[in-house]
């Protein structure tokens, strides 16, 4: 199932990468006379309330949805690794202060925190990426801290200290590469979460703003016509479902492959 998830992710990436070649129409082209047409040979996924081709908008929307997911997760992973590595390596009062900050951040409902910040700063796509990233790093920080607490007592780390190697080199050259296994799993699952958050924000009107297409705002535009134009909600909903499921399957597979205890039970 993990291989199947990976295959679907590769297909989705190829679709996003070649959207301009695959799209039969300009995603922003309106033709009111063709509004709310059902799926047909001319418009594979039908048209929306402005006569725009839903298939073309879905293809271009995949770029935005995946971009939000990966950029947000990149920011999240960077912050989480930095905080977790410092806390786990230095320990004592440094660890206490950083972990209390992590606990404080975890007290806030993340989606409502994101919603509030987006409402204050504006729903530009770059704001959405940054906000999702800076509000979702706490789990990664905990994973990395736990790995560092274990690895910093290993013989090779003690030998590096005895040789006078600087802390920065020990952290990033000797310990971090051995602490990344849970980070890879976390990153895979976080991409799915970020795509869902973007879709939720767009559905509420705080996400990617029209006319730029994303799966979330295509879905919310179809909300008004849910009984008259079912394709406006079904197809973007299926795209989000398949993408999120694929990343979750890949994450579960990576977790099983990287954890020998789980691998031995299967």
Helix axes 54-90, 92-107, angle to 10 degrees: 150
Alpha-carbon distance values, 19 to 24, 53, 60, 219 (Å):
9, 13, 6, 19
- CA separation, residue 172 to residues 8, 80, 119, 176, 178 (Å): 33, 14, 37, 5, 10
* Burial label, 22 (beta-carbon count in 10 A; 0-12, 13-18, 19+): middle
Residue of 204, 232, 185, 179 whose CA lies nearest to 43: 232
Q: How far apart are CA 141 and CA 182, in angstroms?
A: 11
pTM of the predicted protein model: 0.83
Q: What is the pLDDT along the chain (266 residues), one digit of tens a residue?
A: 888 888 999 999 999 889 888 888 888 888 888 888 889 888 889 888 888 999 999 999 888 888 888 898 999 999 999 999 898 888 888 889 999 999 888 887 777 878 888 878 877 788 888 888 888 888 889 888 888 888 888 888 888 888 888 888 888 888 888 888 778 888 888 888 888 888 888 777 787 777 788 888 888 888 888 888 888 889 988 998 999 899 888 888 887 776 655 454 54
- Give me the residue label for tokens 């051995």: 178
Distance separating the N- and C-terminal Cα atoms of the chain: 14
- 3-class DSSP state of 53: strand
Give all domains of the chain, ordered by start, each with its CATH number. 58-265 (1.10.3720.10)
- Tokens for 39, please give them: 């799926």
DSSP 183: H
């Amino acid at each position: 199932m993990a291989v199947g998830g990976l295959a679907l992710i590769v297909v989705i990436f190829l679709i996003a990468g070649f959207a301009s070649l695959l799209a039969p129409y300009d995603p922003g082209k309106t033709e009111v006379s063709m509004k709310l047409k059902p799926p047909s040979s001319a418009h594979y996924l039908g048209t929306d309330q402005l006569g725009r081709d839903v298939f073309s908008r879905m293809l271009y929307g995949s770029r935005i949805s995946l971009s939000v997911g990966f950029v947000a997760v990149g920011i999240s992973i960077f912050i989480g690794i930095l905080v977790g590595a410092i806390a786990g390596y230095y320990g004592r009062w440094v660890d206490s202060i950083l972990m209390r900050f992590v606990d404080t951040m975890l007290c806030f409902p993340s989606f409502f925190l994101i919603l509030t910040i987006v409402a204050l700063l504006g729903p530009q796509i770059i704001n959405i990426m940054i906000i999702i990233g800076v509000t979702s790093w706490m789990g990664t920080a905990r994973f990395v801290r736990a790995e560092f607490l274990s690895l910093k007592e290993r013989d090779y780390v003690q030998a590096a200290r005895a040789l006078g190697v600087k802390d920065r080199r020990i952290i990033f050259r000797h310990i971090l590469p051995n602490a990344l296994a849970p980070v890879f799993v976390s990153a895979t699952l976080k991409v799915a979460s970020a795509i869902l958050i973007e879709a939720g924000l767009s559905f509420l009107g705080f996400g990617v703003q029209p006319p730029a297409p994303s799966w979330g705002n295509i879905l919310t535009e179809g909300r008004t016509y849910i009984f008259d134009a079912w394709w406006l909600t079904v197809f973007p909903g299926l795209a989000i479902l398949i993408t999120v499921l694929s990343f979750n399957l890949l994450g579960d597979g990576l977790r099983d492959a990287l954890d020998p205890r789980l691998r031995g039970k299967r």
